[in-house]
Amino acid sequence: MTAQQVVLAVGITHFENVPAGLAHLPPENISHSFRHHHLEVFKGHKVVVIGGGSSALDLAGLLREGDADVHLVARAKALKFHNRPSGKPRSWWQRIRHPKSGLGPGMRSRFFAKAPGVFYHLPERLRLEAVQRSLGPSGGWFIKEKIIRRVPLLLGYTLSQANLQGGNVHLQFRAADGGEREIVAEHVIAATGYKVDMGRLTFLSPEIRSKIESVRGSPVLSSTFESSVPGLYFVGVAAANSFGPVMRFAFGAGYAAQTLTRALRVSLSRGPALVQAPSVESTTK
C-alpha cells in the first residue's frame, strides 16, 4: 500500500517508561503498568507498584482487592485525588474562577482544552515546561477508598537501587532528608508514565526516523501536525509538546481531527487523486 499522507495515531503504545534503575531486572520481576489487564496472577504474591498517577493508584487498589500483598511507592509526599462530583449547581463566581473544560475545571485547563492553536505559537521553552508540569499525576475519586488505610504507602521516596536475590527484588528507596527504606517483592510494576521517543517507532525505517526533527524525543510539528518528513503527521501524546497537554487526553482528538481534515483536504486538492472514479455514464453502460 502506498499513500501520499500518513497519520501516526499510535497513542502511548511504544512509549512506556521504565526507570533505568529497574530496566536490568528480568521480565518475570519487572513490568510496566501498560502491560496489565488481568491481575489474578498476583494473588498471594508480594508486589510493589511505583508511581503516583491514576495507573499506579488503580493497580494498587485492584491488587489489594485481589488479595495481593501490595505496597505503593511514590516520589510525591502526598497523593492527589480528583474531587467527587457534588451534583450541586455552582455559583456564578465559581463558574468564573474555575470554568469547566474537557480537561476539568480551572483557567489553565480551559486554555489547554480550548486553544491548542494558540498554545502552538508560544515560545518553545514555555510549551515544554507547561507540558511537563501541567495536569500531573492524580487518581480518580472512586479509587481513594481502595487506597487510603488499605494499601501500605511509602511517599516522598525515590528508587536508589534494585537487586535480584533468590528470585526476589530488593528495592532500596531514599527520601529527600536522607532516610532510607528497603522493600522486598516478587514483582515490581512501574506505573511511571510514558516518554515519547521517535527511536522506539521501529516500524518506521531508519531512513525515515533519521529525517524526523525532534526535541526531547518528540517530533517538531507544523501547525497542521505535519512533521519534518513531508506527508507524515503525528497526533496524540507525540503532539503534546507542540499543541499542549490536551494532546495527552482523548479530548484532544477533536482539535487534531478537525485540523488534520482541513489540512489533508487542501493537500489532496493540489495533487492528483490516487484513484480515478469512473464517470456516471460509464457505469451505466
Q: How far is CA 285 from CA 268, 275, 280, 281, in A?
A: 30, 20, 9, 7
Pairing of strands 180-185, 168-175: antiparallel
- Angle made by CA atoms 193, 224, 257, in degrees to the nearest 5: 70
Residue type (1 letter), 109: S
Place of cell 494499601: 151
The domains located in the chain, with CATH, are 6-13+103-135+195-270 (no CATH), 30-82+138-190 (3.50.50.60)
In this structure, which long-range contacts are made by residues 193-198, counting pairs with CB atoms below 8 Å and at least 24 apart in sequence? 193/17, 193/51, 193/53, 193/137, 194/12, 194/15, 194/16, 194/17, 194/34, 194/237, 195/15, 195/17, 196/15, 196/237, 196/238, 196/240, 196/241, 197/15
Rg (CA), the chain: 23
- Per-residue pLDDT at 273 exceeds 90: no
Q: What's the pTM value of the predicted model, to 2 decimals? A: 0.85
CA distance 229 to 218: 14
Question: If you count them, how many residues does the chain have?
Answer: 285
- Per-residue pLDDT at 25 exceeds 80: yes
For residue 110, the model assigns a pLDDT of 94
Q: Are 192 and 51 in contact (CB under 8 A)?
A: yes
- The more confidently predicted of residues 89 and 41 is 41
Mean pLDDT of 199-204: 95
**Proportion of the chain above pLDDT 70, given as a percent:** 95
Closest by CA position to 162, among listed 56, 16, 17, 25? 25
At residue 272 the predicted structure's pLDDT band, cuts being 50, 70 and 90, is: low
Bridge-partner residues for 279, per DSSP?
A: none
- Per-residue pLDDT at 268 exceeds 90: no
